[in-house]
């Protein structure tokens, strides 16, 4: 995995940027790409558009050659699919990648012409480094903790379109790593041939509607998804330092992932929790070195605008698919003080159930442990005051777990397949168009699906048979330590 991060993903990142430049030249010659986008992408300092067509043809040839060389270097050494199922899957993934790149480059017009979520965060970052209030500067449209605005600081060096392209490239690498991590977490390599291709295709599809939209509009949900899955993945590999630090960064950017601490707490992962606390303090103190007293003022503004202000609102819009939004839609005339009690009680019930499942999974098989951990992203979506439709990237791991259970026939089909169909319908099919959410009878499609998924996976975990090992890593260590020593002078170990 480390080699993949250091080489393959870096080459992929270079390929994406080179592809965007190549597409820019195609757009210049054919008129497909809007002129204002590329003016902003290149800052317009060299009057790029006033160059003769021959210059752009030469640039197109240069960028095309560079893209070919980057693709050759990236694909060299990759294993060739050995059956038609894997080849078909590779073609589908390639077409999806091309769609994402083309979609992002066409979206750059919106980054320049109007305020997007990405633009709001960038404006907040500019205000923070200018000594102003990032929340007042964006009319409270930026409501993350101030650390996110600080982390966006390097992107201020590029024009908005260039910064958006760079952010998109980084997030695309993150989603690739996240999918690979989910595949390894649930043991997707246990499938063979057509069934493996079906599993991978389903793994990509179950949450694609959400992370595709996130890539397009410049949200941060893919970043949070990457950090949460990385924390679960590294903890499963008994690497507490990166597990704690990735969770700390997720919580410092967006507080809701803190619910994963309950998982580490009930499993007694003290070193991971210690790394989390140290990382959380470090991440939030580091900006103070650069901003001094202004960092404290930014935090004060966040507590007022991002916490107190949001909790005083009903947030009953249909797009808010959380328990708080659902409760406010069900009881529109009840005072907020009473609704907070209802919200607190239902959130506590969900947390106790998920914590109990996580605690019971300690002595279960590896998939059961991953299934228990997968409930925490769902818990965060439910207990958050505002879980908008775009936040549902977090259903990736629990849906992959359910997909693995269904394809492996690890539970009776009379409930697994209906549960998978119902949740996938709510999360994906009914969410492709926002009007389907707003026009739904219940106006809480995703909340109902999250509860069904949480209870279904939880019941499956509780019904699993206990095993002696707590993870494949500790089991391997125990097997190695208990292996008898070979006899003196023997050429091989005993039978």
pLDDT in tens, 271-293: 999 999 999 999 988 888 888 77
Residue 358 lies in a domain: yes
State the pLDDT at residue 289.
81
pTM above 0.75, yes or no: yes
177-181, 257-261, 337-341, 487-491: lowest mean pLDDT where? 487-491
**What is the average pLDDT score of the chain?**
78
Mean pLDDT (whole number) for 63-81: 64
Q: Does any domain span residue 414?
A: yes
Confidence band for 380, pLDDT divided at 50, 70 and 90 = very high
Q: Is the pLDDT of residue 39 over 60?
A: no
- Which of residues 102 and 392 earns the better pLDDT score? 392
pLDDT tens, residue by residue, 177-210: 899 899 999 988 888 878 888 898 889 888 888 8
Instruction: Please report whether residue 450 resides in a domain.
Output: yes
Among residues 242, 240, 205, 209, which one has the least CA distance to residue 226? Answer: 242
> CA-CA distances (angstroms) from residue 246 to 6, 223, 270, 387, 488?
18, 11, 15, 21, 47
Q: What are 101-111's pLDDT values in tens digits?
A: 777 766 776 77
Domain count, the chain: 1
Mean pLDDT of the 347-357 span: 95
Per residue in 395-421, pLDDT tens?
999 999 999 998 887 777 778 888 888
Q: Is residue 203 part of a domain?
A: no
Alpha carbon distance 439, 430 (integer Å): 10
Domain coverage including residue 382: 313-472
Distance of alpha carbon 401 from alpha carbon 271, whole angstroms: 26
78 in a domain, yes or no? Answer: no
pLDDT band at 294 (very low <50, low <70, confident <90, very high): confident
Calculate what percentage of the chain has a pLDDT beyond 70. 72
Residue that is written with structure tokens 């893209």 in the block: 67
Residue 264 lies in a domain: no
In a domain, residue 43? The reply is no
Query: Does any domain span residue 386?
Result: yes
More reliable by pLDDT, 144 or 241: 241
Taking only the tens place, the pLDDT of each residue in 441-460 is 457 888 999 999 999 999 99
Nearest one of 220, 207, 27, 208 to 108, comparing CA atoms = 27
pLDDT tens digits for range 216-257: 778 899 999 999 999 999 998 999 999 999 999 999 999 999
Res. 378: pLDDT tops 90: yes
Q: What is the largest CA-CA distance in the chain?
A: 84
The residue with tokens 């991971």 is 272
């Amino acid at each position: 995995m480390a080699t993949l991060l250091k080489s393959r993903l870096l080459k992929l990142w270079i390929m994406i940027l080179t592809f965007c430049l190549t597409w820019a030249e195609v757009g210049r010659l054919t008129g497909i790409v809007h002129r204002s986008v590329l003016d902003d992408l290149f800052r317009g300092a060299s009057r790029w558009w006033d160059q003769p067509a021959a210059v752009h043809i030469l640039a197109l040839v240069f960028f095309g050659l560079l893209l070919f060389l980057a693709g050759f270097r990236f694909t060299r050494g990759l294993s060739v699919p050995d059956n038609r199922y894997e080849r078909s899957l590779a073609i589908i993934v390639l077409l999806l990648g091309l769609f994402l790149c083309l979609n992002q480059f066409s979206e750059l017009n919106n980054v320049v012409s109007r305020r997007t979520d990405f633009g709001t965060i960038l404006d907040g970052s500019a205000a923070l480094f200018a000594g102003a209030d990032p929340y007042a500067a964006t009319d409270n449209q930026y409501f993350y903790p101030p650390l996110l605005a600080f982390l966006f600081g390097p992107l201020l060096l590029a024009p908005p379109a260039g910064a958006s392209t760079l952010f998109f490239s980084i997030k695309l690498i993150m989603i690739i790593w996240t999918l690979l991590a989910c595949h390894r977490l649930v043991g997707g390599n246990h499938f063979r041939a057509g069934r493996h291709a079906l599993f991978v295709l389903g793994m990509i599809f179950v949450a694609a509607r959400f992370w595709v939209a996130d890539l397009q509009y410049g949200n941060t949900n893919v970043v949070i998804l990457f950090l949460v899955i990385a924390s679960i993945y590294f903890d499963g590999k008994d690497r507490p330092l990166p597990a704690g630090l990735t969770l700390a960064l997720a919580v410092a950017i967006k507080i809701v992932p803190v619910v994963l601490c309950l998982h580490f707490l009930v499993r007694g992962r003290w070193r991971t929790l210690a790394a989390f606390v140290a990382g959380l303090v470090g991440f939030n103190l580091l900006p103070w070195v650069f901003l001094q007293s202004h960092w404290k003022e930014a935090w004060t503004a966040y507590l007022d605008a991002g916490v107190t202000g949001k909790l005083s609102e009903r947030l009953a819009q249909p797009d808010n698919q959380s328990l708080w939004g659902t409760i406010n839609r069900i009881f529109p005339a009840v005072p907020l003080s009473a609704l907070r009690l209802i919200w607190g009680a239902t959130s506590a019930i969900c947390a106790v159930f998920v914590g109990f499942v996580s605690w019971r999974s300690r002595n279960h098989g590896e998939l059961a442990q991953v299934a228990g951990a997968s409930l925490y992203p769902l818990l965060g979506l439910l207990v958050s005051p505002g879980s908008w439709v775009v936040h549902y990237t977090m259903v990736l791991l629990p849906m992959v777990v359910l997909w693995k259970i269904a394809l492996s026939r690890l539970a009776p089909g009379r409930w697994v397949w209906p549960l998978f169909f119902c949740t996938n319908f709510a999360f994906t099919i009914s969410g492709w168009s926002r009007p389907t959410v707003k026009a739904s009878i219940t106006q809480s499609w995703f909340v109902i699906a999250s509860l069904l998924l949480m209870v279904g996976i939880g019941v499956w975990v509780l019904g699993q048979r206990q095993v002696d090992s707590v993870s494949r890593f500790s089991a391997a260590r125990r097997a190695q330590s208990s292996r008898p020593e070979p006899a003196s002078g023997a050429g091989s170990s005993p039978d």
